[in-house]
A and B are shown apart, each in its own frame.
Chain A
């Protein structure tokens, strides 16, 4: 007899249990169809009760003048657990000779749907009780519907209270026929329908002598035959990117294989985005050897052969079997939020590591949780199930739930808290091929990054072009769309009609910002190098480019340093009076007061300056954890 409290896992005290991983089971069914009695009997017959519990409950019954019932055992245990402060779902533990089990949530708990979701979403199997005498009732159907929604596939139906129908095989068969047909409409299939009489322990652990016609398993035999969880290794590879690590020279794509398996040498495609590369190595610590394959559930640390743009949220797959990519799908959702779910309000859609803004474009139907009848409605109240069209603000990678459950389900979040979840029923193909104007987000999706304007200002000879060219090289090599707009080039082309008067300088800044805006509008990271000596002109440029990320880089070198460099011989000319209104000599330079990046070129190397600029680009274009280092 196990002497531990049942609120403790039994594994440490059960050397004989072969498989000491606890299997999570939910017990559901219509009210009064015998769930509590069944669980009480199961605990008793598997010898999983704490010492003295049975005697204590019997004694209490005698004192109160009540007949003993197995259901009281469960009540007593739950009461005991609820004296602890932490109850929101109850877990009851039992074991068979094969392994340990946890029953998630006590039957009949108040916040049924929420607990069912939190508990049953991780359950490997479900037991659903139907009263042989009453037959299939509302909740018998409702609970199966929830199981199908939560993806619990291993189901055993227990036809209970067989003692009340004289252990009649024909009554049993009638329920099997009726309920099987219903399950079929949900896409569910019960592994067994077991006739039991929980009150008397018939076919729970021990075979019933009164139902010799039953040749199938007892409840515990059926449980022991279940798989621990669905093995998704046979499905196509789905490796959502959790993060990109650059703690040392390595660039490691980190993620958990959610379906399928991955090996070094595999070609991968990252969706959305569609960039491809090949798995070079797994970087397993402590080494020296790394795994030769990472299967479903395994965490992978992957280096790639090519330096392609990868970010958190993308899903790596084999090119021959990719997830769908799109923004719109039809889903069945359960909603737990205190506020109703409403169309056209912005929610965060979380699907694996993807986290995007989304709206409910349309509520197709709201399903009454008890009758399963559907109705129309403009908002979905708490604890309801509904079918909706979800529209994300940008493309996501996903599968249909019936193709790959793990990439076919998602959560909806608002204010940092998960309020609902759902499964994807259909992808909604866009009604027509993309038409009309090419949008900024389409450009970004193709480039793999948003645009930005990096504006280098500083004296002639301060090093603007040198740094900008090096930045351009690094970005270009990292496959970013990048272009440089050089003030000197403009001066001999677009601006050749302009001189150096204040008005002409203002016009030259305006033209440069217009050109930069055009390039940024096509998705380029645009590097502008222009002296732009006056703060007011630069402020106008910034305002004109307000649609794009804008980084002002002040390339700051003392005048004497610039003059001593005098690469183009301009300072000498200015000193000789051959160039009028030369910035720094005969025309003012107003240093930026709060540039995004301030580079003192007489203090740092070009390499360091480039890193500063790239760091700022990083920060502006991507948040933490994304792969923007180049």
Chain B
């Protein structure tokens, strides 16, 4: 596709995301981008490189639950080199010593201990005032009301009932006292947009997304609670064709979403990304 075709849908999304990245970098003292190594995260890296002309001028953070798929660790090292990433890795060693794990605990507890706790600790350690997330409005109903810039309190809480008005490209430019602002460049993208963009730009991604033996991962998380979906889609074109027809939700394979009716809300209220 021509790079000069500026009026197509993907380019519009891309250009808006770049603008969001740039405004965040200009407005905040210290920016960090959590990196899950999943497809949305990898699109974010690509967009950040476009926004900053090749070089990402802030660190990335990987909260390593120690339950990543082995291929993800390989991908992490490869991508680090390809993109020249300044990567901070954090593990909640304390929780692991206390024996927190999927064989003994429920997914909500494990996710909280191994993701949210070290994540908050890293924010305290580095005092970031802006965090770039890969949240998309279409992922989950609780995400539909997110803003481009979403202030969070020092406890990571989201005052969804009293969000600042956001209009005409003017974002909340100040983090609450002791808190931070979540910057969400992918807010208006859909899962299909993500894949079509990955194809157009040829963005490196883990091959776990492509089917082997009739199954593929549509969303990637900790391996004990992430299940592949039935799918013959073994390459990117087939994934895109499949997504155009599917009626199941993207996170159907993510067990932590389905423990209770409000599990996602519970996680998010506690500061989950």
Assembly CA distance A406 to B138 (angstroms) = 28
A184 within 8 A of B: no
Of the candidates B161, B170, B190, B191, the one having the most CB atoms from chain A within 10 angstroms of its own CB is: B170
Assembly CA distance A624 to B129 (angstroms) = 14
Taking CB atoms, residues of chain A closer than 8 Å to B265 are 84-85
A460 within 8 A of B: no
B23 within 8 A of A: yes
A434 within 8 A of B: no
B9 within 8 A of A: yes
Q: Which single member of A86, A254, A295, A353 contacts B144 (CB below 8 Å)? A: A86
Assembly CA distance A416 to B49 (angstroms) = 28
Q: Which of B53-61, B68-76, B106-114, B119-127 contacts A (4 or more CB under 8 A)?
A: B53-61
Taking CB atoms, residues of chain B closer than 8 Å to A11 are 138, 190, 192
- B181 CB to nearest chain A CB (Å): 10
B225 within 8 A of A: no
Taking CB atoms, residues of chain A closer than 8 Å to B174 are 415-417
- Cβ–Cβ contact A5 & B141, under 8 A: yes
- Cβ–Cβ contact B6 & A299, under 8 A: no
- B112 CB to nearest chain A CB (Å): 17
B19 within 8 A of A: yes
Closest to B143 in A: A86
- Cβ–Cβ contact B165 & A117, under 8 A: yes
- Cβ–Cβ contact A3 & B247, under 8 A: yes
Residue interface mask B157-181, A partner, CB < 8 A = 1: 0001101111111101110100000
- A628 CB to nearest chain B CB (Å): 14
Taking CB atoms, residues of chain B closer than 8 Å to A624 are 29
- Cβ–Cβ contact A418 & B165, under 8 A: yes
B81 within 8 A of A: no
- Cβ–Cβ contact A91 & B144, under 8 A: yes
Given contacts A86-B144, A294-B6, contact A12 B49 (CB under 8 A): no
Taking CB atoms, residues of chain A closer than 8 Å to B103 are none
Given contacts A8-B141, A88-B160, A299-B18, contact A411 B52 (CB under 8 A): no
Within 8 A of A (CB), among B15-63: 15-16, 18-19, 22-23, 25-26, 29, 49-55, 57
Given contacts A9-B190, A350-B170, A411-B167, contact A81 B141 (CB under 8 A): yes
Given contacts A284-B3, A285-B50, A293-B4, contact A336 B138 (CB under 8 A): no
- Cβ–Cβ contact B23 & A242, under 8 A: yes
Taking CB atoms, residues of chain B closer than 8 Å to A252 are 53
Q: Which of A13-21, A567-575, A606-614 contacts B (4 or more CB under 8 A)?
A: A13-21
Taking CB atoms, residues of chain A closer than 8 Å to B164 are 417-418
- Cβ–Cβ contact A86 & B190, under 8 A: no
- Cβ–Cβ contact B168 & A409, under 8 A: yes
Taking CB atoms, residues of chain A closer than 8 Å to B55 are 247-248
A264 within 8 A of B: no
Taking CB atoms, residues of chain B closer than 8 Å to A20 are 9, 192
- A299 CB to nearest chain B CB (Å): 4
- B265 CB to nearest chain A CB (Å): 5
Assembly CA distance A4 to B49 (angstroms) = 35
A109 within 8 A of B: no
Of the candidates B49, B161, B164, the one having the most CB atoms from chain A within 10 angstroms of its own CB is: B164
A118 within 8 A of B: yes
Taking CB atoms, residues of chain B closer than 8 Å to A421 are 165, 167-168, 170
B269 within 8 A of A: yes
B90 within 8 A of A: no
- B5 CB to nearest chain A CB (Å): 10
Given contacts A15-B245, A117-B165, contact A417 B172 (CB under 8 A): yes
- A6 CB to nearest chain B CB (Å): 10
B244 within 8 A of A: yes
Residue interface mask A405-444, B partner, CB < 8 A = 1: 0100111010111100100000000000000000000000
Taking CB atoms, residues of chain B closer than 8 Å to A5 are 141
Within 8 A of B (CB), among A76-112: 81, 84-89, 91
Within 8 A of B (CB), among A213-245: 242-243, 245
A121 within 8 A of B: yes
A588 within 8 A of B: no
- Cβ–Cβ contact B166 & A418, under 8 A: yes
What is the number of contacts between chain A and chain B, taking CB atoms within 8 Å?
Answer: 161
Taking CB atoms, residues of chain A closer than 8 Å to B163 are 88
Taking CB atoms, residues of chain B closer than 8 Å to A415 are 174
- Cβ–Cβ contact B172 & A84, under 8 A: no
A114 within 8 A of B: yes
- Cβ–Cβ contact A247 & B57, under 8 A: yes
Taking CB atoms, residues of chain B closer than 8 Å to A283 are 53
- Cβ–Cβ contact A87 & B145, under 8 A: yes
Count how many chain A residues have C-beta atoms less than 8 Å from C-beta atoms of the other chain.
68
- Cβ–Cβ contact B6 & A12, under 8 A: no
B137 within 8 A of A: yes
Of the candidates A12, A89, A117, A415, the one having the most CB atoms from chain B within 10 angstroms of its own CB is: A12
A577 within 8 A of B: no
Given contacts A252-B53, A291-B4, A297-B16, contact A118 B167 (CB under 8 A): yes
Given contacts A84-B142, A86-B144, contact A285 B53 (CB under 8 A): yes
- Cβ–Cβ contact A12 & B243, under 8 A: yes
A187 within 8 A of B: no
Closest to B202 in A: A286
Taking CB atoms, residues of chain B closer than 8 Å to A406 are 168
Taking CB atoms, residues of chain A closer than 8 Å to B249 are 8
Q: Which single member of A4, A21, A243, A248 contacts B247 (CB below 8 Å)? A: A4
Of the candidates B22, B163, B165, B192, the one having the most CB atoms from chain A within 10 angstroms of its own CB is: B165
Taking CB atoms, residues of chain A closer than 8 Å to B143 are 86
Given contacts A11-B192, A13-B246, A286-B54, contact A299 B22 (CB under 8 A): yes
Taking CB atoms, residues of chain A closer than 8 Å to B258 are none
A256 within 8 A of B: yes
- Cβ–Cβ contact B3 & A12, under 8 A: no
Of the candidates A9, A85, A352, A355, the one having the most CB atoms from chain B within 10 angstroms of its own CB is: A85
B12 within 8 A of A: yes
A593 within 8 A of B: no
Taking CB atoms, residues of chain B closer than 8 Å to A409 are 168
- A121 CB to nearest chain B CB (Å): 4
Taking CB atoms, residues of chain B closer than 8 Å to A118 are 165-167
Closest to A150 in B: B167
Of the candidates B23, B26, B145, B247, the one having the most CB atoms from chain A within 10 angstroms of its own CB is: B26
- Cβ–Cβ contact A301 & B53, under 8 A: yes
- Cβ–Cβ contact B145 & A89, under 8 A: yes
Assembly CA distance A152 to B6 (angstroms) = 23
- Cβ–Cβ contact B50 & A416, under 8 A: no
- Cβ–Cβ contact A299 & B53, under 8 A: no
Assembly CA distance A245 to B18 (angstroms) = 14
A289 within 8 A of B: yes
- Cβ–Cβ contact B22 & A122, under 8 A: no
A319 within 8 A of B: no
- Cβ–Cβ contact A416 & B168, under 8 A: no
What are 23 A-B contacts defined by CB distance under 8 Å? A3-B247, A5-B141, A9-B137, A13-B246, A15-B244, A86-B145, A88-B161, A242-B23, A243-B26, A245-B57, A247-B54, A248-B55, A252-B53, A254-B51, A283-B53, A295-B6, A409-B168, A410-B168, A415-B174, A416-B174, A417-B172, A418-B165, A418-B167
10 tightest A-B CB contacts, nearest first: A416-B174, A121-B167, A86-B145, A411-B170, A299-B18, A15-B244, A285-B54, A243-B26, A247-B55, A242-B22
Given contacts A298-B11, A418-B165, 20 further A-B contacts (CB under 8 A): A8-B141, A12-B243, A12-B244, A13-B245, A84-B141, A85-B265, A86-B146, A91-B144, A117-B167, A118-B166, A121-B167, A242-B19, A242-B22, A247-B54, A254-B53, A297-B15, A301-B53, A416-B172, A416-B176, A421-B170
